[in-house]
Amino acid sequence: MLDSLFDLDCVLAAQRSDQPFYLTPANSPMRLRMTRAAGFALMDVRLSLDHSIHFWCQFFMIHHELRRKLESRVLPHVQTPAQYVGGERNIVVKDHRKLRGKIAVGFPDAYTIGMSHHGLQVLYSMINRRDDWCAERVFMPWPDMEAKLREHNLPLYTLETFTPLSEFDVIGLSLQYEISSPNVLTMVDLGGLPLDAVDRTMADPLLVAGGPCCQNPEPMADVFDVMVTGDGEPALPEICDLWLSLREEVRLPDGSYATGEEGRQQREDALARVAQQLPFAYVPRFYEPQYSDNNRIGSIVRTRDDVPETIAPSVISDLDGMPLPTNPIVPYVNCVHDRIAIEIMRGCPHLCRFCQSTVIKRPLRIREVDTIVDAALESYRSTGFNEISILSLSSSDYPHFAELVKRLHEVFVPLDVNISVPSLRVNDQLRTLPELLGSTRRKSLTLAPEVARDDMRQQIRKKIKNSDLIEGCRAAFQNGFESVKLYFMCGLPGERPVDLDGIVDLAETISTVGKEVNGRYARVTASVSNFVPKSHTPYQWNGMQSREYFRWAHDYLWKRRKIRSVNIKCHDIETSLLEGVISRGDRRTGKAIRLAWERGARMDGWTEHLDSERWWQAIEDAGIDVDQQVHQKYEMMDKLPWDHVNVKFGRTYLEKEQTRATIQLTDMANAT
């Protein structure tokens, strides 16, 4: 892909050229390189002439000076410069002069991660269907790019038009991982916005957050103007339209906005109206945490009586009626997931006690088979990707799963397009799924048993059986699959050494089944994560296990393994503990995030960039008691930092499930 300056030159030359890329000579280096980079080595890429001319003209016109500086001073000196130049297949470029509003949709991680996130493609496509708004993309730059931007005093910009973030009406960021919190500060700072929400005026864009990390919004509450829980598709357009109307009310005759104290007051008044009119919009500045004598959260007090006490989630009632992105952007650089992604179902019919997603994505909603197949085919025609991934929390629980897979195979197997199902549930249906799925180029089966013993599965409410898992793997090996990846957790409440034994035993049993079928041990990877009790789950009152426990458990697993074809991979302990600090934190945790960022924390989701000592020092300097915040349990009557954020089931359901789990743990201990 585009990793060299020659690659970059090809892209930039095409973007500058008056001749559309698809009209260049078929054997030219630029055509061959760009065709391969876009994933169309076996296809003739045809763009409409009108679209091409509009695209190149707009690209050349908008913020040409910034782009020129980037090309001459910055991009030749950074790694993989193509991730910073845009121009990919299927991007949408609009004339800003003809629009009512502009939003930058961003992901606080590298381009290769953000472009693999289905939610970003969904929101990008949804906003750009409107004639009066545009959505453009922005990602976290790598440290070398950040350094060059700061060296030359250049702002962070969107890929479509090289527009600085400060010139947008709204900036929306998706918060998927707690450890990426410092990246948010980098993007806001490089974008030219004050880091603290209270310092912004009406001249600044509205900074909005969404995603699972907003289920406990407090650690990042001082940074964002608005934080949204629930589904983004219905919420984001409402926020954008309301904010633009509020800005228009105070726009000055020359088209600018008030700054200074007047601009800050106008912004506060406008945000109050956002909080009043949109029940899913949490505006943190109007909620003040109060702390109890034991240094934990005591209450969340409203500073205005006209904002709601609690925040309700945004919910799509008709998922099938929500259009899918059928023209997904085709990156020029290798991404984590270079494939078509189709969400077939939102929510999960099961209620595993450890799982935050199954609670916050209620109710269960599905798309029709025809909708899915039509969207997949249209996406293929617009991209040429050779893999389609059907997405949900538990795809094999989709009520028309067999029909869907059959239809997809009929359409795409003749086109040599692979069908990927990354979230299969272990049940009796698994025994027939490998034959149904086929293997085409797919050689690995991925399953998430979470724990390895049936009694522990009852405790976590994961209603699966080892017998179904083993026979499902046997069927997979018989149908051409060569390896299996299993996802487990360690550190769950009530975990015993026998539960760790079970992880190794189950992995080795499956490897042995592979030998029974094919004459050689199957490759089995047991990926073991460290359990972090998350907000809005029945385990939210439980404490997290200690560093010493996880070290012991990992070492125990590695020593227990006997078959070489079985690989035990354990998640980084420091990353998990930091995730626990942030995900279970209150507003004071934001100070630790700010200190870590000021001391250089960047891209900490990547192991090679994580400096855990820097984080722990920042946490200590912020005055956070890690043992109390992370490892000590909450009592049922305690106030939790996220109690003002509602979920579909509510706290009463979670309390009942916590009580049942405690009783089951006692019974398990007595039976040992």
Sign of CA dihedral 177, 180, 185, 190: negative
Q: Topology of domain 323-423, per CATH?
A: Transcription Regulator spoIIAA (3.30.750)
- Tell me the one-letter amino acid at 261: E
Sheet holding 170-174, edge to edge: 133-139, 101-107, 170-174, 206-210, 226-228, 281-282
Q: Are 174 and 120 in contact, with CB atoms under 8 Å apart?
A: yes
C-alpha closest to that of 485 among 566, 429, 606, 564: 566
Cα 60 to Cα 650: distance, rounded to the nearest angstrom = 52
C-alpha closest to that of 627 among 521, 552, 559, 544: 544
| pLDDT, position 442 | 58
Cα 404 to Cα 408: distance, rounded to the nearest angstrom = 6
In terms of DSSP H, where are the helices of 564-627? 573-583, 589-598, 612-621, 626
Q: Is 388 helix (H, G, I), strand (E, B) or coil?
A: strand
| pLDDT, position 666 | 84
Q: Are 547 and 573 in contact, with CB atoms under 8 Å apart?
A: yes
State which residues of the chain have pLDDT below 70.
1-62, 423-442, 672
The two structure tokens encoding residue 527: 């990926």
Cα 662 to Cα 492: distance, rounded to the nearest angstrom = 12
C-alpha closest to that of 176 among 119, 219, 222, 123: 119
Q: Are 559 and 503 in contact, with CB atoms under 8 Å apart?
A: no
> Would 5-302 and 323-423 be classified into the same CATH topology?
no
| pLDDT, position 441 | 56
C-alpha closest to that of 91 among 456, 491, 339, 382: 382
Cα 271 to Cα 207: distance, rounded to the nearest angstrom = 11
Is the bond into 328 cis (omega within 30 degrees of 0)? no
Q: 105 phi and psi, to 5 degrees?
A: -100, 125
Under 8 Å CB-to-CB from 65, ≥6 apart: which residues?
none
Q: Are 165 and 157 in contact, with CB atoms under 8 Å apart?
A: yes
- Tell me the one-letter amino acid at 501: D
| pLDDT, position 16 | 43
C-alpha closest to that of 629 among 533, 499, 553: 533
Q: 301 phi and psi, to 5 degrees?
A: -105, 130
Residue 259 host element (H or E): none
Cα 389 to Cα 391: distance, rounded to the nearest angstrom = 6
Residue 530 host element (H or E): strand 523-530
Q: Are 488 and 528 in contact, with CB atoms under 8 Å apart?
A: yes
DSSP annotation of 89 reads B
| pLDDT, position 438 | 58
Cα 656 to Cα 443: distance, rounded to the nearest angstrom = 42
Residue 329 host element (H or E): none
Sign of CA dihedral 194, 200, 206, 211: positive
| pLDDT, position 613 | 97
Residue located via tokens 């035993």: 505
Under 8 Å CB-to-CB from 338, ≥6 apart: which residues?
39, 116, 331, 385, 387
- Let me know how long the chain is: 672
- Tell me the one-letter amino acid at 647: V
Degrees, nearest 5: CA angle 486-490-491:
160
Q: Are 510 and 471 in contact, with CB atoms under 8 Å apart?
A: no
| pLDDT, position 353 | 93
3-state secondary structure 92-113: CCCCHHHCCEEEEEEECCCHHH
Q: 261 phi and psi, to 5 degrees?
A: -65, -40
| pLDDT, position 427 | 60
**In the CATH scheme, what is the homologous superfamily, with its name and number, of domain 5-302?**
Cobalamin-binding domain (3.40.50.280)
The two structure tokens encoding residue 524: 């089995």
- Please report, to the nearest 10 degrees, the dihedral formed by the alpha carbons of residues 221, 227, 229, 231 taken in order: -150
Under 8 Å CB-to-CB from 406, ≥6 apart: which residues?
436
| pLDDT, position 167 | 97
Degrees, nearest 5: CA angle 369-410-432:
75
Strands 287-291 and 297-302: antiparallel
Q: Mind listing the pLDDT tens digit for each residue in 183-235?
A: 999 999 999 999 999 999 999 999 999 999 999 999 999 999 999 999 999 99
401-412 CB burial, b ≥16 within 10 A, e <16:
beebbebbbebb
Q: Mind listing the pLDDT tens digit for each residue in 228-268?
A: 999 999 999 999 999 999 999 999 999 999 999 999 999 99
The domains of the chain are located at 5-302, 323-423
Cα 101 to Cα 97: distance, rounded to the nearest angstrom = 10
Cα 213 to Cα 576: distance, rounded to the nearest angstrom = 15
Q: 209 phi and psi, to 5 degrees?
A: -120, 145
Under 8 Å CB-to-CB from 122, ≥6 apart: which residues?
232, 233, 324, 325, 343
Under 8 Å CB-to-CB from 364, ≥6 apart: which residues?
345, 346, 347, 348, 349
Strands 387-391 and 365-366: unpaired
Question: How far lies 489's CA from each of 39, 207, 357, 568, 627, in Å?
Answer: 36, 35, 16, 12, 21
- Tell me the one-letter amino acid at 436: L
Q: Are 59 and 161 in contact, with CB atoms under 8 Å apart?
A: yes
Q: Are 329 and 339 in contact, with CB atoms under 8 Å apart?
A: no
